[in-house]
Amino acid sequence: MITESYYYKNYLIRASKILRGYKLIKRWNPVRCGHVVEREIFLSMYLIRKMIESQKVTDQVAGMKIKTKCFPVKNDCIVTRHSSFDKKYNLEAVSTKYLDLSYTCNQIIHSYVFEIVLSEKKIPFYVVFCSDRKRNAELYMLKINQVISMIEAIAKDNIVKSISRYDESKKDFIVKNY
- 10-residue averages of pLDDT along the chain (178 residues): 92 96 80 91 98 96 97 87 84 97 97 91 90 94 96 96 94 94
The confidence score (pLDDT) of residue 15 equals 97
DSSP letter at 2?
Answer: -
What are the φ and ψ backbone dihedral angles of 145, each rounded to 5 degrees? -60, -35
Q: Are strands 162-167 and 172-177 parallel, antiparallel or unpaired?
A: antiparallel
In a domain, 32, yes or no: yes
Which uninterrupted H or E stretch holds 104? Answer: helix 101-109
In a domain, 53, yes or no: yes
**Domain coverage including residue 62:** 6-177
In a domain, 144, yes or no: yes
Specify the number of domains making up the chain.
1
The confidence score (pLDDT) of residue 26 equals 74
The confidence score (pLDDT) of residue 78 equals 80
Distance CA 65, CA 49 (A): 14
In a domain, 155, yes or no: yes
The confidence score (pLDDT) of residue 161 equals 95
In a domain, 1, yes or no: no
Cα 16 vs. chain centroid, distance in angstroms? 12
pTM here?
Answer: 0.90
In a domain, 173, yes or no: yes
In a domain, 74, yes or no: yes
3-state helix, strand, coil split of the chain in percent (to 5) is: 40, 30, 35
